[in-house]
Chains A and B, each alone.
Chain A
Amino acid sequence: MALQILFNFILALCWMFLINDYSAVGFLSGYAIGLFSLFLLRRFFKQRFYLINIWAIIVLLFIFIKELLLANLAVLKTILSPTLKNKPGIFAFETELTADWEITTLANLITLTPGTLVVDISEDRSTLYIHAVDIDDAEQAINDIRHSFEKAIKEVSR
């Protein structure tokens, strides 16, 4: 992905030199033309066309914000209920992600999810130990993490 962005940048610079216009408009038009030519040449790169990755990053950002809002609603519900009836506990979650930055992102996402908090990551980086406010929801939480977060993060790094 970084390589493709660098190529696009160089193509935009080439365009600026070609038309002798050293302004932001010249750069942007060159960038658009470079983007189009990179799209045409996409089968020569090992990775996908990089706009798809950027779209995946935006999707991940929106998941982050959505989960933060939902988490706050859930915490408010727990705090402001007259009696505390929740059952806390720590459960283990096996992750399929391997790269360090992926696991960090997943841990951050889980911490901002309703009712879950990452306590530790095992030394072989295969298991996350997660503290849940209500362990009855843990099964549901595991499913949510698997289907939304892990998938979104994998989509970025593919």
Chain B
Amino acid sequence: MIAAAKLLIAFFILLGALISLAASFGTLRLPDVYSRIHAASKGATLGIISVLLGVFFYFWFLHGIITAKVLLGIVFVFLTSPVGAHLIARAAYNTGVKMEEKSVQDDYEGYKKFMIKKRKNTSL
């Protein structure tokens, strides 16, 4: 029983560490900001959640303590990391960071130009 619990804990923590490692490789390998945000936001979220789950199981199975703080941490990471990714991507686009050269489609550019024009017209 304890052995199975230890295996489960080890599985979760190692999986989280591996996913985080892969996500950091992604931030190095991918060419532009937006693709890097993809790798960082998704990979880091699941990696951290997995490590925290491992910690939760460790305290629960081996020490008999249920730490609700860890569960709250999982919920907060889960809710905030996509918002953070969205805000960084938006800020990058608005400060004029280009997408990589092989990008094929940009529907957002037209909307952006339209909005800038509209703002200029209203301020005059």
Q: Which residue numbers of A lie inside 8 Å of B, CB to CB?
A: 64, 68-69, 71-72, 75-76, 78-80, 84, 86-92, 107-108, 111-112, 115, 117-120, 122-123, 127, 129, 131, 133, 135, 138
Contacts and interface: CB of A to CB of B under 8 A. Distances in A.
B30 A117 contact: no
B71 to A, nearest CB: 14
Contact of A108 (B29, B79, B99, B104): B79
29 contacts: A68-B42, A68-B78, A71-B42, A72-B19, A75-B23, A75-B38, A75-B43, A79-B22, A79-B26, A80-B22, A80-B25, A88-B32, A89-B103, A89-B104, A89-B105, A89-B106, A90-B105, A90-B108, A92-B107, A108-B83, A111-B41, A117-B38, A117-B41, A119-B34, A119-B89, A129-B108, A133-B38, A135-B104, A135-B105
Contacts of A88: 32, 34-35, 99-100, 102-104
B: contact size bracket: 35 or more
The A interface, classified by DSSP as helix, strand, loop or mixed, is mixed
Given A129-B107, A135-B105, 12 more contacts: A68-B42, A75-B23, A75-B38, A76-B19, A76-B43, A80-B22, A89-B106, A92-B111, A108-B82, A117-B41, A120-B108, A133-B38
Given A79-B39, A133-B35, A91 B29 contact: no
B92 to A, nearest CB: 9
Contacts of A122: 111
Contacts of B38: 75, 115, 117, 131, 133
B6 interface: no
B108 A111 contact: no
Contacts of B30: 78-79, 84
Nearest to A123: B115
Contacts of B109: 90
A107 B105 CA distance: 20
A141 to B, nearest CB: 13
B86 A117 contact: yes
B108 A87 contact: no
Contacts of B86: 107, 111, 117-119
Contact of B105 (A79, A91, A117, A123): A91
A117 B89 contact: yes
A81 to B, nearest CB: 10
A44 B86 CA distance: 42
B93 interface: yes
Given A68-B45, A75-B43, A89-B103, A84 B29 contact: yes
A129 to B, nearest CB: 4
